Amino acid sequence: MSGNQVIYKPFEWERLRIASQFNAKLMDHLRSFVKAGISTEEINQIVHEFTVSHGHTPATLGYMGFPKSCCISINEVVCHGIPDETVLKEGDIVNVDITSIVDGWYGDQSETFLIGEVTDEARKLVQVTFDSLFLAINAIRPGSSVIEIGEVIYNFATELGYGVVRQYQGHGIGREFHTDPGIPHYPVSGSERDLLLPGMCFTIEPMLNAGTWRTVEDRSDGWTVRTKDSKLSAQFEHTILMTEEGPEILTLTEKGPQPGHQF
């Protein structure tokens, strides 16, 4: 194990739960707005106003210079899409990635939304990405190694012909946005030594591409990441607390897709 992994005490677990559940409520609040005709900047404003009005802080705003209160990634954008005047249209798939700071604690999650009627290809990609997240969550237990997450996602996705993004990964989270361990979504040598012990909090956030796993970063803004072949990409993310009984999903929503959901 690397030395920078944080193991939270049981009395701190409730702080993690509170931050994550606020973030989940924010996602549910957004749900009715994410549809054709709205701009990604308008969604960003809704995220910002809901968060601030509850006395909390959007974690991405100003983080390493990121200019907005959430990331919104449409179609071939893999992650870190910057909200702007782009309007969602019928047939798009769009990932909304939100992170909240609640009394110094972080909650982090993302969902990919289907905008109206989408192609069968897009629907299947979103389904497989969603399923891969829960396969990974269900595969781990106290003492599991991080590599088990990567193996489950990679084997499931590649067998179905999808590319698993390698340049971006899940991460430890809690009092800080990003801590050890890194959580790759494909098997990485060395990650078998990172063990998931009770009290560790981390994200699992697979990004699957309809084509190649390779990505390119937009040099004009330094943030937006696209698939190298311009094919579709989807992502889902939850914040997970490892307990003695197993993984606890901290960011489950009341109104969003639950484990086993069919898109």
With contact defined as beta carbons under 8 Å apart, do 44 and 52 qualify?
A: no
- DSSP letter assigned to residue 237: B
Known binding site for a divalent metal cation: residues? 97, 108, 171, 205, 237
Residue 170 and residue 182 in contact, taking contact as beta carbons nearer than 8 Å: yes
| The dihedral sign for the CA sequence 67, 215, 94, 23 | negative
How distant, in Å, are the alpha carbons of 131, 134, 135, 226 from that of 241? 19, 14, 16, 30
Helix, strand, or coil (residue 31): coil
Return the percent helix, strand and coil in the chain, to nearest 5.
30, 30, 45
Residue ranges for the binding site for substrate? 80, 178
Q: Which residues contact 164 (CB under 8 A, 6 or more apart)?
A: 153, 154, 157, 158, 185, 186, 206, 207, 208, 209, 213
Structure tokens at 226: 């696209």
Binding-site residues, please?
80, 97, 108, 171, 178, 205, 237
Report the C-alpha gap between 239 and 67 in whole angstroms. 23
DSSP labels for 156-182?
HHHHTTPEEP-S--EEE-SSSSSEEEE
